[in-house]
Structure 1
């Protein structure tokens, strides 16, 4: 069998109904190349390897789980990448889809990794800690709206699909979980990606201040007279941030 490693934040899904719901959400959009992140004991993997005409790979950091999966599902020989998702290169040429019960301790970092691959992603279906899922899906004016919300929503439509009870896992985590789906969207018309990322991160770095005080270093004084700078970062939409990049130094 296998052991659970707290150091890797391992909480394995054991509810078959939830596994089927996640895979059903995945299959609502077509794909031919699929990467599973953190297959663990194979709760999703056992459903994914049966999908016809799909080039499947999985990335797993835990060597013990890699061996377990290879022994349990021989079809996975040559399809498992023994590494951290944060360290690997793009796993396929061309477009691909990502699915996973993402390790909660690095879930935000995984989402930023997905931004690196955004031009090649067709869909992402993932289970996250509920608070992270809510943050990704949050709209302006919400206290959970932040850097992650704006940067993900600039490039993806976010669907908050359903929540998952703690008892659906072994061991039960101390946090709630939720499944979201990300699908690519046309990015807003910002001046350039570097300016957009810098503006968003700078604005939320001092989110309690007005935008004028938080991002003063990025704009000339003449630009800062615009009333939009009276607002705080959490009050600006993704489009607002994009439009402001054209006024940056």
Structure 2
């Protein structure tokens, strides 16, 4: 079989270390007995170990050359190789509405978009594992008060427990990326109701982190469209904090405060 040429425009960096590939495949064992969806299988280095497990495996790949290669290498998997764009898929249809594990050697340039989509389907995805850029992994696992703590940290940790499992060096890829990689695992926590309006929660988190060096009393003004909240709103203690200082419960509290003000001023 002719090898697939990595494509720069798709952010393809093919893993060549079989030992690491097996370790990544084994991360899905934290959520046994449910199907697995692999994103971006490329030449199947991870796929070959996933299909050894006693569960259904499907793989979604946007690169037509890789799809053709996978058809030839894994003929029994042919019907489960989906030549589509993951970001455009309706995930409820992949396993007929059943829960599944999400895994893969994720394209670095769209990894954040992949995880935001995961959040949209969080009730279908109790476990997500795989390899991403180390910097992104550190942000996802970061605790309040750290420089890495940001939008991804808050939105993901509100619904998932994040584990940074291990670091992967550049020299085990073809072509080698310019950054180190990391393998992570996210497991759904027991939260079913976050305690505030989810859409507004996302909006508040993104708004304040977009001006992360400013106090909340400054960055929150964008949400109110130049309409002044009631007297005393900006004088509360929490308003002197910067976003990286807030825990997830504090972001929930802040969201409820903002929602109350929006109702008062009629927005």
TM-score band by shorter chain is over 0.9
Cα pair 2:158 2:194 within 8 Å, conserved: no
* Equivalence for 1:48: 50
Which deviations, in whole Å up to 9, do the C-alpha atoms of 1:135-160 show, x marking residues without a partner?
11111111111111100111100000
The structure with more radius of gyration: 2
Map 1:184-223 to 2 at 5 A: 184-187=188-191, 189-216=194-221, 217-218=223-224, 220-223=230-233
Cα pair 1:124 1:181 within 8 Å, conserved: yes
Structure 2: 5+ residue runs without aligned partners?
A: 262-267
Instruction: Give the alignment's TM-score, normalised by structure 2.
Output: 0.89
* 1:125 partner SS: strand
Structure 1: 5+ residue runs without aligned partners?
A: none
* Equivalence for 2:265: none
* 1:77 partner SS: helix
- Cα displacement (A) at 1:134: 0.6
Q: Supply the distance in 2 between the matched residues of 1:208 and 1:221 (Cα, whole angstroms).
A: 24
User: In structure 2, which of residues 3, 6, 9 is the aligned counterpart of residue 4 of structure 1?
Assistant: 6
- Cα displacement (A) at 1:239: 1.3
* 1:215 partner SS: helix
Q: Number of paired residues? A: 248
RMSD value over aligned CA atoms? Answer: 1.3
Map 1:75-114 to 2 at 5 A: 75-90=76-91, 91-92=94-95, 93-114=97-118
- Cα displacement (A) at 1:174: 0.7
Q: Supply the distance in 2 between the matched residues of 1:56 and 1:189 (Cα, whole angstroms).
A: 31
Q: Supply the distance in 1 between the matched residues of 2:162 and 2:77 (Cα, whole angstroms).
A: 31
- Cα displacement (A) at 1:220: 3.8
Does 190-199 or 64-73 show the bigger shift? 190-199
Q: Supply the distance in 1 between the matched residues of 2:230 and 2:124 (Cα, whole angstroms).
A: 36
* 2:161 partner SS: strand
Cα pair 1:157 1:185 within 8 Å, conserved: yes
- Cα displacement (A) at 1:20: 1.3
Say whether residues 1:242 and 2:252 are aligned partners.
yes
User: In structure 2, which of residues 149, 169, 172 is the aligned counterpart of residue 168 of structure 1?
Assistant: 172
* Equivalence for 2:143: 139
* Equivalence for 1:64: 65
* 2:31 partner SS: coil
